[in-house]
Amino acid sequence: MEFSIIFIVSIFLIGFIGSFVSGMLGIGGSIIIYPMLLYIPAALGIAQFSAFEVSGITAIQVFFATIGGVWVYRKGEYLNKIIIGYMGISILIGSFVGGIVSSHMTENGINMVYGVLALIAVVLMLVPKKDIDDVPLNMDRFNRLLSALLALLVGVSAGIVGAGGAFLLVPIMLVVLRVPTRITIATSLAITFISSIGATTSKIIAGQVLFVPAVIMIIASLIAAPLGAKLGKKVNTKYLQWILAILIIATAIKIWMDLLS
């Protein structure tokens, strides 16, 4: 693979855009970066990444993007350690298992898993919900078993496509677990970081990581994710949720059109 200036700039911009949105919306960025890596380099004629390679690069990007986002929130009151503990351990196990399983799947199989995850996320985001931003999180009502089980399932499926799972974690935490939006955005970043450890480790073991594009993604992530997280603190949470829903819907449509064509 030839690493031209156009190639480097293109991969950097993909990583920058995905990581900026990652920090702003409390997601790992894979919901955007996965299809961008799959389609944009091929359309420009600079590279043709396989689904395996895309999932490996994406896993690395999510790992570093979430570091930057969590760093911004580290001194705030929005990182809930109890939720991180229960969901983090489960999603770490699931993402590692998912990453190993992906090496035994076909490219279409990996893309199909991604398409299903996107559709589920769309449904969850469109479920009507009350505004609970100003309601303190009651940990006595927080379903620890359900949160751990859901995190495990998200981890396995997200690990297959190299994602951290935040684009599923966010709607699950908002709609199912009834976690306030600001806490969801910050805490999901921390859980996604833990998930990305399992996914990245398994992708490296499976030999699915292209290190030059991954390094470019890392640089872009470290610059863009903190910028996005700072903006996310200032933007109305309703707008954040709508932006996330629109991004997921657009991705789901594109992926399924390709799978069914």
Where is average pLDDT lowest: 100-114, 128-142, 188-202, 229-243?
128-142
Give me the pLDDT at residue 67, please: 80
- Nearest by Cα to 96 from 192, 228, 198, 236: 198
The model's confidence at residue 160, banded by pLDDT at 50, 70 and 90, is: very high
Provide the number of structural domains found in the chain.
1
Contact 166, 196 (CB under 8 A): no
Q: What is the pTM of this model?
A: 0.78
Mean pLDDT, rounded, of the chain:
83
Considering the chain, what percentage of its residues have pLDDT values greater than 90?
A: 25
Sign of torsion, CA 177 186 100 105?
positive
Q: What is the DSSP letter of 137?
A: P
Instruction: State the Cα–Cα distance between residues 34 and 224, nearest whole angstrom.
Output: 17
Q: What is the DSSP letter of 233?
A: T
Tokens standing for residue 245: 């829903």
**Residue 90 pLDDT exceeds 90:** yes
Q: How confident is residue 132, by pLDDT bands cut at 50, 70 and 90? A: low
Residue 79, pLDDT score: 85
The model's confidence at residue 72, banded by pLDDT at 50, 70 and 90, is: confident
Range of the domain at 98: 5-260
